Amino acid sequence: MNGSVYPENKMKQKLHSGETIHGLTTNSGSPTLVEIIGYAGFDYIVIETEHAPITLDEKAVHLIRAAELAGITPLMRVRANEPSLIHKALDLGCQGAFVVHVESKEDAKKVVNAVKYPPLGTRASGPGRYLGHHRYALDQQTYPEYWNRESIVMFLIESKRGINNLEEIVSVPGIDVIGIGQGDLSLDLGDWLPRWKNPYCVKAVERLLKLCVPRGIAVRDIFSDFDTASKWQKKGVQVFEWESDTENFQRTMKTMMNQIKNNIK
């Protein structure tokens, strides 16, 4: 094969066209479940390395390969806003980074800089696994431009300080998706309530939408029921994350067992 063959980032395309995007998180670390999620038609999968027992090694690579095979965009939720962690996630083959606990304009710049190559950022070059993903045909003249165009920058704001700095945060160029981490924000307020039950968190999402939508930044949140999702879609939410593979599997198994008990005595 002559020349570099770079894959299209389907999630990025949908972001640009304003389409609704659906994804899940993998807490299980199961490549099989990632494949199933991709073939079911979801747009992206978040590989959870902050809270789940998934490490930045061959285990993560197998999850990324499964996502590639099933045509779903792999992102990695890194445990801290550290360039070395973000670089590793990208070198393993993720098509973007999902960073937690962004609280300021400087934090947001730090994420963008870690994801993008110069002149948009400071990501270093190196023979990561993406070489294979791109058919072993890396062209150093064209790849940085491709990556800066197709990679995804997504992060969470999870504290009152971050909410207070929303206007400055959304002014940073290069951001694709922002979400409010309602659980940690609720904890930071000293009033831990379920998602969508804390009035401060709800107002924070509404404020984020008002700031992001005019700037072309997508807003993401977690949903588990269609009524709530439909309500927030009408308000402008574009990226819908339908909890995790383990939560959905658990719910399915409980429903199945209840049906078994009701029908097979």
**What gap in Å lies between CA 25 and CA 84, rounded to an integer?**
22
Contact 105, 92 (CB under 8 A): no
Under 8 Å between Cβ of 229 and 240: yes
Q: Which of 52, 23, 69, 24 is nearest to 245 (CA)?
A: 24
Amino acid at 239: V
pLDDT category of residue 133 using cuts at 50, 70 and 90 = low
- Which distant-in-sequence residues (6+ apart) come within 8 Å of 237 by Cβ? 205, 209, 219, 220, 221, 229
- Mean pLDDT (whole number) for 9-29: 97
pLDDT band (50, 70, 90) for residue 127: low
pTM score, whole prediction: 0.93
Alpha helices, DSSP H, located in 134-218: 143-150, 160-164, 166-170, 182-188, 199-212
pLDDT at 39 over 50: yes
Residue 214 has pLDDT above 50, yes or no: yes
* pLDDT for res 79: 94
Q: Residue type at 62?
A: H
Task: Please give the positions annotated as active site.
Answer: 51
Q: How far apart are CA 247 and CA 145, in angstroms?
A: 38
Terminal-to-terminal C-alpha distance of the chain: 61
Angle formed at CA 19 by CA 25 and CA 207, multiple of 5 degrees: 75
Instruction: Identify whether 118 is preceded by a cis peptide bond (ω within 30 of 0).
Output: no
**Residue pLDDT, tens place only, 90-107:** 999 899 999 999 999 999
Q: Is residue 200 within 8 Å of 185, Cβ to Cβ?
A: yes
The average pLDDT across 108-124 equals 96
CA-CA-CA-CA torsion sign (215, 217, 221, 227):
positive
**Are 222 and 22 contacting, i.e. CB atoms less than 8 angstroms apart?**
no
Q: How large is the average pLDDT for residues 219-233?
A: 97
pLDDT of residue 1: 40
Q: Mean pLDDT score of the chain, rounded to an integer? A: 92
Would the pLDDT of 72 be above 50? yes
Q: How far apart are CA 22 and CA 35, in angstroms?
A: 15
Superfamily of domain 10-154+222-260: Phosphoenolpyruvate-binding domains (3.20.20.60)
Domain ranges of the chain: 10-154+222-260
For residues 31-39, give the mean pLDDT. 98
